[in-house]
Amino acid sequence: MKKSVEELKFPLKGKWLAMLAPSFIVDFPYPKIISQMKDLGFDKVMELTFGAKMINRDYHELLKNSKGLFISTACPGIVETIKSKNPSNIKNLIPIDSPMVATAKICRKNFPEYKIVFISPCNFKKIEAQKIKEVDFVITYSELRQLLDEHKLTNKKYPKKGILFDRFYNDYTKIFPLSGGLSKTAHMKQILKKKEMKVIDGIIEVQKFLESPDKEIKFLDCTFCKGGCIGGPFISSKLPIFLRKRKVLNYLKTAKKENIPENRKGLLQKAKGISFKSNYPNK
């Protein structure tokens, strides 16, 4: 059983590592959030985008020679709903890690002595974390906002330049929290015809599709929330989805101009030997 955030004492003491879900940019300022996390006691603060890149490779490989319907499993809202409401589709769930689990595996390999905390836009990630061993705690965006307030960090001034994530920068997968971000960054168009893939955001629409699926579809890239993770329930932003999307794209643009040292980038050798196969869909 994972411990709840109430059991953590902030500022944390010892070796703690935070992984920020890539939708963070909708609700938290970059790079200020990195300094705020450090003040909460996190020794290392990581981007999640490298894990997304690694699972993309596995998705691409799997779908290359696929037959039948495959459903994306990066969103635990989809996995849990299918398990409880559409169990006949469990066999179609893709047995590949979510970016959260993939990044946690990479962090465990490179920083084995650290406790790993995922910062999440939804509660479904807490359910997923209960069923895997790589993530020690999940803190939602609303819990994080509360912590920042309690520790008087929300309005604290920090340097605007020279602050970077500790590790695993990857640019193009920064669009992963957008609906269709997986298909796009896994380059599905290279291996599937347009009529063979479908992007659906919103669980009602996903379930409607599953009730009478189009037999030509081989890959369903879907998310529980409207707009993808940028529509997550613990995002406080009142901006419409298209403006949240713009925030993600602007962050991508800004980050591309940053001078990221080689050792902070998501390089393949950092994930060497790790398997991103998952049995979470069956748990």
Binding region for ligand SF4 (CB under 6 A): 75-77, 121-122, 124, 223-225, 228-229, 232
State the minimum distance, in angstroms, from the CB of residue 79 to ligand SF4: 9
- Of 102 and 191, nearer to ligand SF4 (C-beta) is 102
- Of 98 and 153, nearer to ligand SF4 (C-beta) is 98
State the minimum distance, in angstroms, from the CB of residue 232 to ligand SF4: 3
The SS3 call for residue 219 is strand
State the minimum distance, in angstroms, from the CB of residue 223 to ligand SF4: 4
- Sequence-distant (≥ 6) Cβ neighbours of residue 231 within 8 angstroms: 201, 223, 225, 241, 244
- Of 45 and 75, nearer to ligand SF4 (C-beta) is 75
Token pair of 148 as six digits? 């920042």
Strands 44-47 and 137-140 come out as unpaired
- Of 224 and 280, nearer to ligand SF4 (C-beta) is 224
State the minimum distance, in angstroms, from the CB of residue 225 to ligand SF4: 3
Q: In this structure, are residues 100 and 65 in contact, taking their beta carbons and an 8 Å threshold?
A: no
Query: Hey, what amino acid is at 71?
Result: I
Give the DSSP H/E element, type plus range, for residue 138.
strand 137-140
- Of 70 and 114, nearer to ligand SF4 (C-beta) is 70
Neighbours of 258 (CB within 10 A): 13
State the minimum distance, in angstroms, from the CB of residue 124 to ligand SF4: 4
Give the DSSP H/E element, type plus range, for residue 246.
helix 241-257
- Of 228 and 281, nearer to ligand SF4 (C-beta) is 228
How far apart are the C-alpha atoms of 167 and 120, rounded to whole Å?
A: 18
Query: Hey, what amino acid is at 166?
Result: D
What's the DSSP call for residue 281? Answer: G
Token pair of 110 as six digits? 């490179």
State the minimum distance, in angstroms, from the CB of residue 146 to ligand SF4: 18
